[in-house]
Amino acid sequence: MSKKRRIVKKNYMIHYIVLIITLSIGGYFVFSGSDNNSNMETNFYSQRKFDFKKEGELTFQSADGKFISKIDIEIADDMVERAVGLMYRESLEFNQGMLFIFPNEEYQSFWMRNTMIPLDIIFVNKKMEIVTIHKNTTPFSEKSYPSTEPSIYVVEVNAGYTEKFDVKEEDKINWRLN
């Protein structure tokens, strides 16, 4: 074999080795499991500052229509906003909350992954009736907090809010945009 052919063959071998190493490293990061993906997701979001953005107001009313309380709300009405919700927030004023609006009334379930503050999670049907309340949920928990009946809205407020104002199942909500 000529010297030129040996050099060309050696260059191909080097390229193949580099390609195999590159694919192996890339495959490790892509297929290394949810822990690394979770860490990348956490790092991505935790470097951003999430300030409350008032987009409307929501009132709680007793089942017979009497005013209970009012909060300012931020709206989560698309897939990304609903997926992130109140994750990565270091605080939330007691008179603030988030209203999740879903396209269909169905059984919903939330978790507290990457959520730093304890919350009361309130599930509401299309008649604006509260069907389920999960009080004082655990920050960072991946436990499922499901609705007991189909709901189209979910309201998240600081833990203790529903206790302080005696908001209960069968009470109602009413909301409006700014």
Classified as helix, coil or strand, 120 is: strand
Average predicted confidence (pLDDT) for the chain: 84
Residue 25 in this model has a pLDDT that exceeds 60: no
Domain limits of the chain? 3-46, 56-177
pLDDT tens digit sequence for 74-86? 999 999 999 999 9
Determine the Cα–Cα distance for residues 146 and 80; give it in Å rounded to an integer. Answer: 20
Cβ–Cβ under 8 Å, residues 140 and 112: yes
Place of tokens 């495959």: 27
Determine the Cα–Cα distance for residues 140 and 114; give it in Å rounded to an integer. Answer: 5
Q: pLDDT band at residue 50, thresholds of 50, 70 and 90?
A: confident
Question: How does DSSP assign 41-96, residue by residue?
Answer: HHHHHHTS-------EEEEEE-TTS-EEEEEEEEEE-SHHHHHHTTTT-S---TTE
Q: Could you please state the CATH topology (level 3) that the domain comprising 56-177 is classified under.
A: Jelly Rolls (2.60.120)
pLDDT of residue 21: 54
Tokens of 34: 């949810």
Residue 20 in this model has a pLDDT that exceeds 60: no
Per cent of the chain over pLDDT 90 is 71
Cβ–Cβ under 8 Å, residues 102 and 95: no
- Determine the straight-line distance between the first and last CA of the chain, rounded to whole angstroms: 80
Cβ–Cβ under 8 Å, residues 27 and 138: no
Does residue 101 or residue 5 have the better pLDDT? 101
